Amino acid sequence: MSRPGHPMKPVRKAVIPVAGLGARFLPATKSVPKEMLPVVDRPLIQYAIDEARAAGIEDFVLVTGRGKSAIEDYFDHAYELEAVLESRHKIQELAALECTNLEAGRIMYTRQQVPLGLGHAVWCARDFVGDEPFAVLLPDDLMHGAAPCLKQMVEAYRDLGGNLVAVMDVPRRHTDRYGIVSPGVTKGRVVEVKGLEEKPHPEEAPSTLSVVGRYILDPAVFTHLSRLEAGAGGEIQLTDALAKLVGTMPFYGYRFEGTRFDCGDKVGYLAANVVLGLERPDLGGEFRDFLKALDLDDAKGATRCA
C-alpha cells in the first residue's frame, strides 16, 4: 500500500514503442507500420492512445523506427482531407477524425535507431519521462473490456505505488514467449511480484503468470536500462531491468478485467476484428447474420461477402 508521508505522483506520461518490424504481417508491413493495421476501422495505435487518455494520460512519446512516418502523419491534421469533407457536409466522417488530433505539444516522437529490444526502446524515452512514474503500452496487445485496462491499473496504482504490470495466465507451453512472474501473496486482482524471468523454458518457469503489454513503472528502471545489458535473444529486455527492482520497492501484477487480443499474431488480430466488429451497433447485426450464414466448409462462403 502507499507509504505515509510519501504522496503518490500521478501517472501523466506514456511511452509507446512502435519501432518493431512487424515481420509476422509481411508483406502488408513492408510499407504499412504494423501499428497502423486497422481493427474494424481504427488502427491499433489509436486503441492504445484512446485507452491511455481514458486513464488520465496527458503526454505521449512514441518510440519510432525507420518507415514509421505514417504514424506521425496519422496524428497530424489532414487539412486538405478535412476541407473536402467539410465542403461535402460529411459530418460523421469529420467527427471520426477528431480522435486523431491530439492537443499541440502532447505527442512527441523519438527514434530508436537500432532495434535492440523493448528495454532499449523504453530507455530511449528517458528524458521525456524524467523523474515521474510512467505508463508503457504495447499497441500489439489490444485490451478490450468494460473499463479500459490502463484505467483499472491507474486506480490500483494510487494505493500501491512502485511498479505495476498487467498479468494473465498463459498455457505453460507458451512461457518462453513472455516475461513470467514468480508470484507471492494475492489479494483480489493484485498479485505480489517476488521475481521475474524473461522467456523461461516451460519446464523451468516459476508459474504461468505472464506480463502482458501494459505497465506503470517507477523511473528507477532507467538506472538498470542505462547499462544496456543484453538478455534473451541478444536484446535489451525490459523484464530484466524490472527484475532488479523486485525487493527494492513495491512491485505487483494486476489481473485486469477484460480480454487481451495479441494483434501481433494473425489469429489474435482476426479475433479482435470479429469481436469488436460484432459489438459495433452500426455493423454488428449484419456481420452476425453473415457469420451465422457462413458455411466454413463450403468454398462458396467466400462469395457471400459480395
- C-alpha to C-alpha distance for 133 and 218, rounded to whole angstroms: 5
- C-alpha to C-alpha distance for 25 and 3, rounded to whole angstroms: 46
pLDDT in tens, 219-239: 999 999 998 888 777 889 999
Q: What is the CB neighbour count within 10 angstroms for residue 198?
A: 21
Per-residue DSSP letter, 30 = G
Degrees, nearest 5: CA angle 244-245-249:
155
Beta-carbon contacts of 34 under 8 Å, excluding residues fewer than 6 positions away, are 20, 21, 22, 25, 44, 140, 264
pTM over 0.85: yes
295 within a domain of the structure (yes/no): no
* CATH code of residue 258: 3.90.550.10
Range of the domain at 74: 13-264
143 within a domain of the structure (yes/no): yes
Degrees, nearest 5: CA angle 66-67-68:
95
4 within a domain of the structure (yes/no): no
115 within a domain of the structure (yes/no): yes
Closest to 61 measured CA to CA, from 98, 3, 12: 12
- C-alpha to C-alpha distance for 210 and 158, rounded to whole angstroms: 23
Residue by residue, DSSP assigns 88-139 as TT-HHHHHHHGGG-PPTTSEEEEE--S---HHHHHHTTHHHHTTS-EEEE-T
Number of domains observed in the structure of the chain: 1
CA-based end-to-end distance of the chain: 57
- C-alpha to C-alpha distance for 162 and 11, rounded to whole angstroms: 12
104 within a domain of the structure (yes/no): yes
**Number of Cα atoms under 13 Å in the Cβ half of residue 146:** 1
If you compute the radius of gyration of the chain from its CA atoms, what whole number of angstroms results? 20
236 within a domain of the structure (yes/no): yes
Closest to 264 measured CA to CA, from 142, 85, 110: 142
How do the pLDDT tens digits run along the chain, 306 residues long? 344 445 678 999 999 999 988 899 999 999 999 999 999 999 999 999 999 999 999 999 999 998 899 999 999 888 899 999 999 999 999 998 988 888 888 999 999 988 889 999 999 999 999 999 999 999 999 999 999 999 999 999 999 999 999 999 999 999 999 999 999 999 999 999 999 999 999 999 999 999 999 999 999 999 999 988 887 778 899 999 999 999 999 999 999 999 999 999 999 999 999 999 999 999 999 999 999 988 765 544 444 443
pLDDT in tens, 11-64: 999 999 999 888 999 999 999 999 999 999 999 999 999 999 999 999 999 999
Give the bridge partners for 62, in sequence order. Answer: 16, 109
Closest to 137 measured CA to CA, from 156, 157, 151: 151
CA 284 to chain centroid, in Å, comes to 25
CA 104 to chain centroid, in Å, comes to 23
35 within a domain of the structure (yes/no): yes
Give the bridge partners for 209, in sequence order. Answer: 169
Give the bridge partners for 165, in sequence order. Answer: 215, 253
186 within a domain of the structure (yes/no): yes
